[in-house]
Amino acid sequence: MDELLLPAQRLFGAAWPTVWTLAKIIAITVPLILCVAYLTLVERKVIGWMQVRIGPNRVGPLGLLQPFADVFKLIFKEIVVPTGASRTLFFVAPVLSIGPALAAWAVIPFDDGLVLANVNAGLLYILAMTSVGVYGVILAGWASNSKYAFLGCLRSAAQIVSYEIAMGFALVGVLMAASSLNISDIVRNQSGGLSHWYIWPLFPLFVVYLVSGIAETNRHPFDVAEGESEIVAGFHVEYSGVAFAVFFLAEYMNMILISALASIMFLGGWLSPWPTIPDGLPWLLLKMCAVLFIFLWIRATFPRYRYDQIMRLGWKVFIPITLVWIVFLGAMMQTRWAYLFH
Amino acid sequence: MTAQTVIFYAFAAILVFAALRVITSRNPVHSALWLVLSFFSSAGVWMLLHAEFLAIALVLVYVGAVMVLFLFVVMMLDVNFDKMREGFRGYIPVGATVGLLILVEMALVLIGGYLPAGATPSPGQTGPGYSNTSALGRQIYTDYAFPFEIAAVILLVAIIAAIALTHRTRRETKYQNPNEQVKVSRADRLRIIDMPLEKKE
């Protein structure tokens, strides 16, 4: 591989590291955007099948070109800026929501050594980036100068701040088990087959993480921020065309990110379930698909939560569960059963 | 000038500009957003000092949580600037005195630790295996365990005090108890009645 790159390295000279990093970023981003495009199709198909419908089947064979039709439709639509909107912030908001969603992928390891930035504090970086994503939603709601958008943004801000705590505590359990903040190390510590994955010793934390992840991404059944039946479309009600598409992209990208993180932290990332089968990227993708399917499954199954129930679940159920499990984990690590929790 | 110096000056310039905009912008929401930008830039400066844990914690805590709540409150306020500017001149002498005192105090503290340019110790080269986070953790939980615990207790007291100050039971508000709502069974809500068939007249 290195020999193959030598001519390119000579061509760019001192700028080579920058060019090479850019190439890596593009190699992550482009497949990601394609994944988002097809996730929207899969979502509609899966929910369609669950509700005994067919789903989109008109554009291309089996409806496979539907995402592109949607994209072209959105690109050619006019972007309407509401009267009295705060113009700059109105356009900054979608950028702020997609920026962190993309930036978090920098530390996601796809295979052993296949990671853009192998930083030591990777887990913290992920937490920081996902917590910044809320600004897009808040600003969109405020800058739109619309009641519905504002209500949506307030709900979303409260919800994200509440569930972030439970999510952070769930990851504290992971870092206790792995005794590392480096995401690649966390995966390597789970090697040795299915029984070594952290989903078993940390099962309550896995459930909390997954549900908080759904709440963080404002997905059904926690989508009061969008709540079609109450506040039209919530924070992005005033957005149209490409600006709306960017919000959409950010939401789905966050979904994929949460599924990737759940696979990495609890399901062994790129590791295969049996030590005899070789590890690799396909395993990670398979696990991500399974988690994403759970997201869609939940969306097709459950009714929307009431706002006070969301708050109760976050503060009175999840945070106590995670706290108790962290203390239990710490206590067990001092006993002779500690090997079960590493 | 190395690339690091260029990056430092870029972050520092953004930081100073954003901090100025925090106090000069007319809209409180804009001020809060400029403050977010200045937190971000100072996190960048800390990152250049190899203090990765502090930098990320700054983003995580201040940008991700504190400022969100700040914005949350500020967005809902209807601030009347004309009213706030009333009597601005009258407060100038007091404000200027307090500002000057703070400046002198800070100068007294900082001058002792100030080193001429070039004499500032650089963070030094650290190996690839060095983890700023674990080094900091070891310091906090071994050498400074006691002060750290005291700080934690003070924070706990502050939390309890804040809740005690704002929490009050309102009699007129009706609460729902989700526990009871979840536990509800068919027998509580549904009554099946036997009705005799009626003949059509």
Nearest to A121 among B53, B71, B178 (CB): B53
What amino acid is encoded at A77 in this protein? K
Whether B72 and chain A come into contact, CB under 8 Å, resolves to: yes
> In whole angstroms, what is the distance from residue B200 CA to residue B42 CA?
84
**Distance (Å) from the alpha carbon of B184 to chain A's nearest alpha carbon:** 15
> In whole angstroms, what is the distance from residue A139 CA to residue A94 CA?
9
What amino acid is encoded at A174 in this protein? V
Alpha carbon B179 to chain centroid distance? Answer: 33
**Distance (Å) from the alpha carbon of A58 to chain B's nearest alpha carbon:** 43
Residues of B in contact with A134 (CB under 8 A): 64, 68
- For residue A111, the cross-strand partners are A114
CB contact under 8 A, A131 and B60: yes
CB contact under 8 A, A308 and B176: yes
Least confidently predicted of A59-73, A145-159, A216-230:
A216-230
Quick check: A113 pLDDT over 80?
no
Q: What is the mean pLDDT of chain A?
A: 84
- For residue B34, the cross-strand partners are none
User: Residues 178-197, chain B: which have Cβ within 8 Å of A?
Assistant: 178
What CA–CA distances, in Å, run from B58 to A160, B7, B72, B176? 18, 19, 19, 38
Q: What is the pLDDT of residue B38?
A: 92
What number is the average pLDDT over the span A94-102? 89
Please tell me the total number of residues recorded for chain A in this structure.
342
Q: A190: how many CB neighbours lie within 10 A of its CB?
A: 24
Quick check: A100 pLDDT over 70?
yes
Query: What is the 3-state secondary structure of A267-279?
Result: CCCCCCCCCCCCC
**Distance (Å) from the alpha carbon of B111 to chain A's nearest alpha carbon:** 34
Q: What is the pLDDT of residue B159?
A: 92
Mutate to test the interface with B, among A92, A132, A315 (most CBs of B within 10 A): A132
CB pairs below 8 Å between A and B: how many? Answer: 66
Q: What is the pLDDT along chain B (201 residues), one digit of tens a residue?
A: 677 888 889 999 999 999 998 888 878 888 888 999 999 899 988 888 877 888 888 888 888 888 888 888 888 877 666 666 677 777 888 889 999 999 998 888 777 666 665 555 665 666 666 777 778 888 888 889 999 999 999 999 999 999 899 887 777 777 777 778 878 888 888 988 888 888 877
Tokens of B27: 């809209």
CB contact under 8 A, A131 and B178: no
Least confidently predicted of A205-209, A256-260, A262-266, B64-68:
B64-68
User: Residues 79-138, chain B: which have Cβ within 8 Å of A?
Assistant: 131-133
Q: What is the pLDDT of residue B63?
A: 86
CB contact under 8 A, B65 and A312: no
Each residue of A285-328: pLDDT tens digit?
888 999 999 999 988 888 888 887 888 888 888 999 999 999 98
Q: What is the pLDDT of residue B128?
A: 61
Q: Which residues contact B9 (CB under 8 A, 6 or more apart)?
A: none
Alpha carbon B4 to chain centroid distance? Answer: 28
Residues of B in contact with A138 (CB under 8 A): 68, 71-72, 75
User: Do A159 and A212 form a contact (C-beta atoms < 8 A)?
Assistant: no
- Prediction ipTM score: 0.81
Nearest to A124 among B56, B68, B69 (CB): B56
Backbone dihedral angles phi then psi of residue A111, each to the nearest 5 degrees: -160, 175
Whether B65 and chain A come into contact, CB under 8 Å, resolves to: yes
pTM for the structure as a whole: 0.84
Q: Which residues contact A14 (CB under 8 A, 6 or more apart)?
A: none
Whether A135 and chain B come into contact, CB under 8 Å, resolves to: yes
Burial A273-283 (b: 16+ CB within 10 A, else e): eeeeeebeeeb
Tokens of A83: 């009267």
Radius of gyration of chain B (CA): 28
Whether A295 and chain B come into contact, CB under 8 Å, resolves to: no
Nearest to B75 among A121, A128, A142 (CB): A142
Residues of A in contact with B78 (CB under 8 A): none
